[in-house]
Structure 1
Amino acid sequence: MFFYFKKKNKKIFLFFINIFLSAVIIFLLFSAVSCKTADNNGNENTDGENLTVGCDATYPPFESMEDGDIVGFDIDIIREIAERMGREIEIESIKWDNTYEFPEDMDLDMIISAIPILEEKESLVDFSDPYFVMEYMLITLSGIDIKIKEDLEGKEIGILNSEESYLDENYLLNYRIEGYDDMATMFEDLRNENISGILISLPIGTNLMTENEGIYSILEIIESNKEFVIVLKEGSDLKEEVNRVIEEIMQDGTYDEIYGRWFDYNI
């Protein structure tokens, strides 16, 4: 009788051991499948994967084509971000517009292309923290009586109508503002001295000074409320890490180094 119960208990014990081992195997297999699915969706375990970044290379010095490659301030910024994330990067040329929609025929992780943050688009995409605040140059003709910014107070200065809202209203009260719909007419009026100065965005002003050395003088550089961000897909797990790196490069001097490569000017 004793032998019978002992043998029976042994069978019961082995039965439960088999059930336990089977459950463990099923759990491990399920975990492996879940992790793989998460990787394919870009939600987890993304270290070491490529970053595919879209860019509309038509806005120097932020991005432009040079000898078949996309170069510019934005490109140096996003390459630094990718490197610190431990990622290889692929830059894809795209056409960007104000719809803030990712191209359907391309599998992009993010887009960097001098894109201003718009609150009304936050329901469509995610925005990184700002990596650039647009600055404006106060410019006048060289060789005239205006030597410092105070000499322009109360005088007429030109600005594009599309950009006036980005500048502080109290600052603009120092001048008589003439709004323009196109840049060519504004610069023509400056050259003909119909206006005494212009306020122009930093990228355009930088190119202008390079191409017209000695013709214009910079009186002041001012910040605006126009901020550029990296655009990510809604709910992207990359946002937190991108923001961390943006803060890091701004604090350790890397951002200033990159900035100096592309926005070189003297007052």
Structure 2
Amino acid sequence: MDIMKKPIRKFIVFTVLIIVALIYPGLIIGCSGQDNGTEINQNDEPPKLTILKSKIFVGTDATYPPFEFVQDSAVIGFDIDIAQEIASRLEKEMEIVPISWDFSYKIPEDKKLDMIISAISAEEGNDEFVDLSDPYYIMEFMFLVLSDDQLKIREDLKGKKIGMIDHEIKNLSPEYLKDYTIEEHKDVLVMLEELRNKKIDGLLISIPVGKNIIEENDAIYRVLEVVKSERSFSIVFHKGSPLKDAVNQILSEMDEDGTYQEIYDKWFLFSAQ
């Protein structure tokens, strides 16, 4: 009887070992003493920065000059130059993907995108569905008065009527505006006409809008001062994208080495500065 039991026991032990090996393969390797520490955990692979190794897909709504707009069938603008510099420093080709940005702060699911740059405000609470880069642009306003006025500094306008486009008022701090009577306007041309007719004493207008006005009418208007607003723009990424940190680093480097200023001056420097 014992002679018959031994083969049966061997068979049972062999069968158990096979089952254990199938369920816990690491246990057998560890027990064999042959683990040389080079086992690769596929889950520890670093996440990819972009969809394709050699290309970065950048979404933009090209309807907002001078940030992004179409000229001679090409998409150009301040944002596009910033994105191109980022792509170059990532050593990637850039492909612009046309999108319609609806301010829902959701990346279009039907588009292949690594990031979006489209003059998007970096307002608190807008990062529920996406990640936002550090601000790459802070909106600036020019304080315009008539060229023949004897005003020297903005304090000379305390208590005076100052025109602003209605939806831009929130971009300047109440502390800055408290000394003036703000006259709301919906149309820039109407506001300029009121300044010429001296129905208002000055106006505050964003540089992207005011740049062409001052350059084409420098005999009529002059800039009293330039002031930074509370509105800034950020680049949008998929939630958790590792590209965000890489881009933030590049933006910092561009600021330090002067590249950012060169791009800024190309699009926003005006002759009166």
1:164 alignment partner in structure 2: 169
Tell me if structure 2 keeps the 8 A contact 1:62–1:74: yes
| 1:138 and 2:128 aligned | no
TM-score by length of structure 2 reads: 0.79
The aligned counterpart of 1:16 is none
1:230 to 232, 235, 252: 235
- Corresponding residue for residue 256 of structure 2: 251
Cα separation, 1, equivalents of 2:49 and 2:136: 26
Show the counterpart of 1:113: 118
Structure 2, unaligned runs of 5 or more: 1-27
1:173 and 2:192 correspond: no
Backbone CA RMSD of aligned residues: 2.7
CA distance in 1, matches of 2:231, 2:102: 17
Report deviation, 1:122: 0.9
> Aligned-pair distance for 1:148?
4.2
CA contact (8 A) 1:209 1:216 kept: yes
Question: Does 2:225 align with 1:220?
Answer: yes
Q: Aligned to 1:74, which of 79, 100, 114?
A: 79
User: 1: CA distance between counterparts of 2:192 and 2:226?
Assistant: 18
Q: Secondary structure at the match of 2:162?
A: strand
User: Is contact 2:105-2:127 (8 Å) kept?
Assistant: no
CA–CA separation in structure 1 for the residues paired with 2:160 and 2:194: 14
When residues 211 and 28 of structure 1 are mapped into structure 2, their CA distance, relative to the original with a 3 A threshold, is: farther
Give me the whole-angstrom Cα distance separating, in 2, the residues matched to 1:95 and 1:197.
35
Contact 1:48 1:88 in 2 (8 A): no
CA contact (8 A) 1:48 1:86 kept: no
| Number of equivalenced pairs | 240
Report % sequence identity.
46
Contact 1:160 1:182 in 2 (8 A): yes
In the other structure, the counterpart of 1:44 is 48
**Partner deviation per Cα, 1:202-240 (whole Å, 9 max, x = no partner):** 100112223434232111100011010001111111111
Which deviations, in whole Å up to 9, do the C-alpha atoms of 1:44-64 show, x marking residues without a partner?
A: 375843110011111111111
Residues 163 and 183 in structure 2, CA contact (< 8 A), matched pair in contact too = yes
Query: What is the rounded CA distance, in whole Å, between the counterparts of 2:258 and 2:40 in structure 1?
Result: 46
Mapping 1:92-103, distance limit 5 Å: 92-103=97-108
Larger radius of gyration: 2
8 Å contact from structure 1 (residues 125, 234) kept in 2: yes
Alignment partner of 1:197 out of 187, 190, 202: 202
Alpha-carbon contact 2:195-2:203 (below 8 Å) kept: yes
